[in-house]
Structure formats: C-alpha cells, structure tokens
A and B are shown apart, each in its own frame.
Chain A
Amino acid sequence: MALPSAKPIVFSPWNDPDATPLIRIRGVSKSFGDFLAVNNVDLDIYPGEFFSLLGASGCGKTTLLRMLAGFESPTDGRIFIDGVDMTGIPPYERPVNMMFQSYALFPHMTVAQNVAFGLKQDGLSKKKIAEKAKEVLDLVQMSAFSERKPNQLSGGQRQRVALARSLAKEPKVLLLDEPLAALDKKLRGQTQLELVNIQDRVGITFVMVTHDQEEAMTMSARIGVMNAGFIEQVGTPVEIYEYPATTFVADFIGTANMFDGVVALDEQNRTVVDCAELEAQLTVGHSSGVAVGAPVTVMVRPEKMTVQREAPQDGLNSVHGVVSDIAYLGDISIYHVRLNSGRKVQVALTNLRHTSEQRLTWDDEVYLTWHPANSLVLVQ
C-alpha cells in the first residue's frame, strides 16, 4: 500500500529511525480469568507526542492505559518508560500521572490542596509547593477557585482541576482516561483544542484513551485503533482515515462504502477488482500487492464520490442507482442510494446553496462515480 512518503511534517519522530521512543510496549497481554483484554500489543510512543488509543468499549484501551499507570500488571510482556522496565514498579513510583475519567478529585480537600497533594508526596518545601500549584492552576485558568471544594465546581471546572493536579508533578507521561467524556458537546469541542494547546506548552507526552473518533482525530498526533485487545492500526489521523489498514478501521473511523471482490489485475499504480455484487470492475489507483484472484475489499468514502444524473462518458468506477433515503444534516446531506443489485451506498454532498433547485430528491436515478485515487483496496 502506498502510504504518503515522509512529507516535511513538523513533528513526526515515528518516521525518524534515530528517534528513541519514550514508551516501549513489547508483547503486552492482559487476561482477566478467561477474558483476554489486551492481546500481544507492541507499541512505541515518542517524547512530546499526543497519542490516542481509540476503540469501542471493551476493546482493551483502558486496560492498556491502566497498565502504563501501574494499576494493572501485564500477564505477559514488558513496558519500558524512558528506558526503565516498569515490571513490578508500583504506581506511586512511576514517572507517570493519570487524569481519571471520574476526575477522582479528593472531595475533602480544596482545589489548591488537591493540586498540592502530589507535590507534598515529593517532600518539596511549602513555598515551592504553593508556587508550583499556583503555576498549574494558572495554566488551566482555575486560580480564582483555589479555595473551593470540588463539589462547589461545575463539571468543566472539575475537569480543569483534575488536569492541573495530574500536571503538577511534571510527569514524563500524562495518561488521560476519557478526559472529556463527562462534558457536554459544546464544552468538549472547546476543551479539546485547549488541551492540545496545554500539551504543546508543557511539552509532556500525552496518552489518551477515547471512544470518540472525532476527539481522537482533533487532538492526536497519532492514533492507535484498538479492537478486541489488538491494535489494528497506528497512524496519524490522515493515515487512518484515508489509508485504513483493515476493514475494521475503515468501518470504525468515519463511514465507508465497501465492496467485496477479487483481484483481476494488479499493476504498479493500478488494481482492477472484479466486483460480482456490482456486476462491474472497479479500478483503484494503487497496487494491492496480492495475486490475481485473491479476495479483497474496495473502500470508498461517501464524500469522495460524485453524483450525476447522466451516465458518465468513460464509465470508470461508475455505479447506477436510485436515491432511497436522504439525511439532511445542514452542512452536508447524506444520500442513501440503492444500487441495481439492492445494495445501499452512502454519498455525502456539501449543501453549497440555499436553494433546492439542484438538490436530489427521493427516487431520482443517479450515477455515482469516483476517481481511482480516491478508493482503496483492503486485503482481507
């Protein structure tokens, strides 16, 4: 598969063979009784990176995070943080701090005492502790609330205090367990960018667990998509959306139209797939790397298709169908097109105009086409 070659991206240590990862996860598995929560995971996370573990609930992402924090120990494999083997090292001796999903603020302490808690364990002087606490509270703009108790704060304010408390000790790695899940949608959007800014300023490596793909894509440098204890793919948001490695990732991130078929022709820059379901040949703009006759899946994103009422001239990657459902979302509309074979395909069109003149409506006959470069062959 032709991944984009290393473009001059500002921050991409994972493409640098000389870079040393801060976290090295090697063959880590964790089972609870018969249930294998994490299955033989290998993963490198680099200094200063904002890394997200993304997956549905029960995929093992939280278990992996808790193993980094030291609350769970791997059944198998090893975790190295900054070159040190973490096996057998208790949470209170690890150079990591965690921001809990429930925030886990101490209800009997004020905001300032909560933030100072970790610093006190280090035996710093009173003056130093107060300075440090003030500094992190300033960072999250919560200094004005330092004498409040957690139950006197709103959800968003508690989230900030929890972040300040976990940042106060300047850990090598900050672990975030669904940090924004308890916030309402609007506040979550603001906080996402704010969190990225803070990460940028403090320069600490963030490892975040989330089930929200939009959140992961907004915030992370790289995302590890997890499924049933495995890491399916690790990549930048662009990579996992545009070049998903597996059908699971293609389906989990965004919406994907997938057509099963067999390879009819495989060239350096072209794969032709016989798709029995569509009774058509689909052309994809890259080599699949598998033999002719091998079963593959062709994936096309809904927004990468064009819709037209007349049959296209060249006929490359063109399917014919009828509009069966329309979901109007304001900025875009999703059209569900039923193909002749009965198969439904989703197409997304931007609503560029106010008027409804050009708009498609139910039962319109349409042709869907896409450029070979905008589709992808996934090998099963």
Chain B
Amino acid sequence: MAPRAAGRRHPRVLLRRWGRTLVGLPPYAWLMLFFLVPFLIVLKISFSETQAAVPPFVPLVSWAEDAVLQIRLNFGNYRYLITDELYVDAYLNSLKIAGVSTLFCLLIGYPMAYAIARAPRTLRNPLLMLVVLPFWTSFLIRVYAWMGILKNEGLLNTFLLWSGLIDQPLQMLETDFAVYVGIIYSYLPFMVLPLYATLEKMDLSLLEAAADLGCRPFRAFLRVTLPLSVPGMIAGSMLVFIPAVGEFVIPDLLGGPDTLMIGKVLWSEFFDNRDWPVASAVAVAMLILLVAPIMIFQHYQNKSAEAENR
C-alpha cells in the first residue's frame, strides 16, 4: 500500500498520520457511544412488545426450546402509530407549531441580526452578548418566568386590566399561544446568530455597487442583501425548527391539555403508560421525519462552504 510504503520511508510521516487519526478519534468515539448506541437501543426496543416486568419490554433475542435462537421483530408499534389518529395529529401539530415558530423567529430575528451586523464595530459584540445573555439563566427558570407573565393574575394581564384595555383576564397560559411565545422566545438566539454571521461577512461594496448602478437602498436590500443571506436564514431556521418539533418542556409547562405535541406524547408513553416499545417507535418516527430538513440543511451548508472556497 502506497501510504504504508511512504510511512516506512519517513517514520515522521507515519507518526503524523497516526497523530491525526488519534486527534480525530475522541469526537467519533463520543458520538458512537452516546448517540449511535443509545439510538440503536431505542430502535431495538421499538421492535419489541411491552410486558409488565423490568425492563418493561420483551427481549428481541431469546432462546427457544431445543437450543433454537429466535428473534422476534414486532412491527405492530409502527402500525399502531399510523392507525391511531393521536400520533398522526401530534406529529402534524408539532410540525405546525415548529413551522410557525420558525417563521416568527425569522421575522423577528432578521431585523435584529441586520441591525447588529450594521451597527458600529465597537457595538456589535455587546449587542451579541445581549442576545446570548438569556443562556446564562437556566432554560427551565426562563420558561417558569413566562408562566409568571402569562398566567391570569400574571404581569401581562395585570397591566392590561390596569390600562383598561380589557376588563377580564385573558386566558393566555395553557394555550397554544403561550407555547408559541415560549418557543419563539427560547429559540430566537439560534436564529439571530447564524443570520448575523452571514450578514456581517457580507461584502458591503456589493451594496455600493448596487447603489452605483442606480438601485435605491430598499431595492438593493431585496435584490442583494436578502438573496445573499439565504444560507443564514436556512441555517437559523433549521436550528429553530428541528429542536422545536421535539420540544417537550415548553408545551408541557405553558401549553394546555389540548396542546398536542410529539414530545409530550413521547413523555406520556414512556412515563405514564410505561409502554416503552411504542414510545421508542414514536422517537424513531420523529427522527425519520426530521431527517429530510436536516439533509436540506446539510446540502446548503456544503453549498455555501463550496462557494466560499473558490
């Protein structure tokens, strides 16, 4: 083999090659051990059947009589997901809530990112700090804070009653509205940061060129800035959309009993029904559902990386 021959001639080259492999190994080992293996366990359980025991599912591989190794794959859990409307509705509703939230994050995040990217250089980092600042507090505490704001005797209702705009408290907590507010609030930074990165590195002489060619500022924004920030918009949207689909804490704390999201269904299958096989099937189905947007994301990442390398 050519590399080996080269390595034999130059021990340093061999050492360097091994060194690179060793440096690359830990992240792969980490991903294998803590992401791929658990996923395979979940995949295995999803093909099992529930039973009242510990663990609460039938092992796939077992010894039958006469030393016969038997593997039982149960596809019933997946069939159940399709036949029971609850799951289909939960999936669709999750996609809807995640989609609408992503759209609002984009509408709110774009002007924010734009303003920060065009602010004086010395102001940019402090402004970015402000965007990231909420992360310094626990996510759970911030969601609880929203409960305090949105509940019937909360800050917002008290203010609206005081100002005379309403004479009865609005039911905001335990509605889809609260879920939207929670998701948009929590995921906004994930939209702003990649958008900022794209807008900040944009060559401003392109805008000068547009102006020079007779383009008014707003049109220049539409025809130059906006198309060039598409990679950032896609990156931000994926970073918001993908985790929002599987979001559990926000719908559980802010949403009502009618708020149907797949994360909540998953939770209740695992912990309320103790039906691990169905819960696992739900998890696997969600992953498959999210593969498509992740692939789109990857595609655009590669494309923009390619464009930059030229």
Task: Determine the main DSSP class of B at the interface with A.
Answer: helix
A107 in contact with B307 (CB, 8 Å)? yes
Q: Which of B203, B215, B216 contacts A102 (CB 8 A)?
A: B203
B214 in contact with A106 (CB, 8 Å)? no
B205 in contact with A91 (CB, 8 Å)? no
A108 in contact with B210 (CB, 8 Å)? no
- A182 to B: closest C-beta gap in Å: 13
A87-110 interface bits toward B, Cβ cutoff 8 Å, 1 = contact, 0 = none? 000111100111010101111100
Q: Which of A106, A122, A169 contacts B209 (CB 8 A)?
A: A106
Q: Does A165 contact B (CB under 8 A)?
A: yes
Determine the distance from Cα of A100 to Cα of B206 in the docked complex, in whole angstroms: 9
Q: Which residue of B lies closest to A100 (CB)?
A: B205
- Also in contact, A118 and B214, with CB within 8 A (given A106-B209, A108-B227, A151-B310): yes
Q: Does B208 contact A (CB under 8 A)?
A: yes
Residues of A within 8 A of B210 (CB): 106, 117
Q: Does A71 contact B (CB under 8 A)?
A: yes
A92 in contact with B224 (CB, 8 Å)? no
B224 in contact with A97 (CB, 8 Å)? no
Q: Which of A69, A105, A169 contacts B214 (CB 8 A)?
A: A169
Q: Does A121 contact B (CB under 8 A)?
A: yes
B205 in contact with A107 (CB, 8 Å)? no
- Also in contact, A91 and B227, with CB within 8 A (given A100-B205, A104-B206): no
A108-131 interface bits toward B, Cβ cutoff 8 Å, 1 = contact, 0 = none? 100000000110011000000000
Q: Which residue of B lies closest to A102 (CB)?
A: B205
B307 in contact with A151 (CB, 8 Å)? yes
Q: Which of B209, B216, B219, B307 contacts A100 (CB 8 A)?
A: B209
- B199 to A: closest C-beta gap in Å: 14
Determine the distance from Cα of A107 to Cα of B306 in the docked complex, in whole angstroms: 13
A189-202 interface bits toward B, Cβ cutoff 8 Å, 1 = contact, 0 = none? 00000000000000
Q: Does B228 contact A (CB under 8 A)?
A: yes
Residues 217 to 245 of chain B near chain A (Cβ within 8 Å): 219, 223-224, 227-228
B291-309 interface bits toward A, Cβ cutoff 8 Å, 1 = contact, 0 = none? 0000000000000000100
Residues of B within 8 A of A165 (CB): 209, 213
Determine the distance from Cα of A92 to Cα of B213 in the docked complex, in whole angstroms: 6
Determine the distance from Cα of A106 to Cα of B211 in the docked complex, in whole angstroms: 13
Q: Does B212 contact A (CB under 8 A)?
A: yes
- A99 to B: closest C-beta gap in Å: 9
B215 in contact with A97 (CB, 8 Å)? no
Determine the distance from Cα of A166 to Cα of B213 in the docked complex, in whole angstroms: 8
Determine the distance from Cα of A336 to Cα of B129 in the docked complex, in whole angstroms: 61
Residues of B within 8 A of A93 (CB): 214
- Also in contact, A121 and B212, with CB within 8 A (given A102-B203, A106-B206): no
- A93 to B: closest C-beta gap in Å: 8
Q: Which residue of B lies closest to A171 (CB)?
A: B212
Q: Which of B211, B213, B216, B224 contacts A169 (CB 8 A)?
A: B213
Residues of B within 8 A of A71 (CB): 208, 211
A91 in contact with B208 (CB, 8 Å)? yes
Determine the distance from Cα of A169 to Cα of B205 in the docked complex, in whole angstroms: 19
A90 in contact with B211 (CB, 8 Å)? yes
- A272 to B: closest C-beta gap in Å: 55
A121 in contact with B214 (CB, 8 Å)? yes
Residues of A within 8 A of B219 (CB): 121
Residues of A within 8 A of B224 (CB): 106
A91 in contact with B211 (CB, 8 Å)? yes
Q: Which residue of A lies closest to B213 (CB)?
A: A118
B208 in contact with A100 (CB, 8 Å)? yes
Q: Which residue of A lies closest to B310 (CB)?
A: A151
- B182 to A: closest C-beta gap in Å: 36
Determine the distance from Cα of A118 to Cα of B219 in the docked complex, in whole angstroms: 12
- Also in contact, A121 and B208, with CB within 8 A (given A102-B203, A151-B310): no
Most-contacted residue by chain A among B205, B213, B227 (CB, 10 A): B213
B307 in contact with A69 (CB, 8 Å)? no
Residues of A within 8 A of B211 (CB): 70-71, 90-92
Residues of B within 8 A of A70 (CB): 211
Q: Which residue of B lies closest to A66 (CB)?
A: B208
Residues of B within 8 A of A121 (CB): 213-215, 219
Q: Which residue of A lies closest to B204 (CB)?
A: A104
Q: Which of B206, B215, B227, B310 contacts A92 (CB 8 A)?
A: B215
Residues of B within 8 A of A117 (CB): 210, 213, 215, 223
Residues of A within 8 A of B223 (CB): 117
B213 in contact with A97 (CB, 8 Å)? yes
B228 in contact with A108 (CB, 8 Å)? yes
Residues of B within 8 A of A106 (CB): 206, 209-210, 224
A141-166 interface bits toward B, Cβ cutoff 8 Å, 1 = contact, 0 = none? 00000000001100000000000011
A62-92 interface bits toward B, Cβ cutoff 8 Å, 1 = contact, 0 = none? 0000000111000000000000000000111
23 contacts between A and B (CB under 8 A): A69-B208, A70-B211, A71-B211, A90-B211, A91-B208, A91-B211, A92-B211, A92-B212, A97-B212, A97-B213, A100-B208, A102-B203, A104-B205, A104-B208, A104-B209, A117-B215, A118-B213, A118-B214, A118-B215, A121-B219, A122-B214, A165-B213, A166-B212
* Interface of B toward A, CB cutoff 8 Å: 203, 205-206, 208-216, 219, 223-224, 227-228, 307, 310
* Interface of A toward B, CB cutoff 8 Å: 69-71, 90-93, 96-98, 100, 102, 104-108, 117-118, 121-122, 151-152, 165-166, 169
Q: Which 6 A-B pairs have the closest CB atoms?
A: A118-B213, A121-B214, A104-B209, A151-B310, A104-B205, A91-B211
- In the complex, besides A69-B208, A98-B209, A104-B203, 15 extra interface pairs with C-beta distance below 8 angstroms are A69-B212, A91-B211, A92-B211, A92-B212, A92-B214, A98-B208, A100-B209, A104-B206, A106-B206, A117-B223, A118-B213, A122-B214, A152-B310, A169-B213, A169-B214
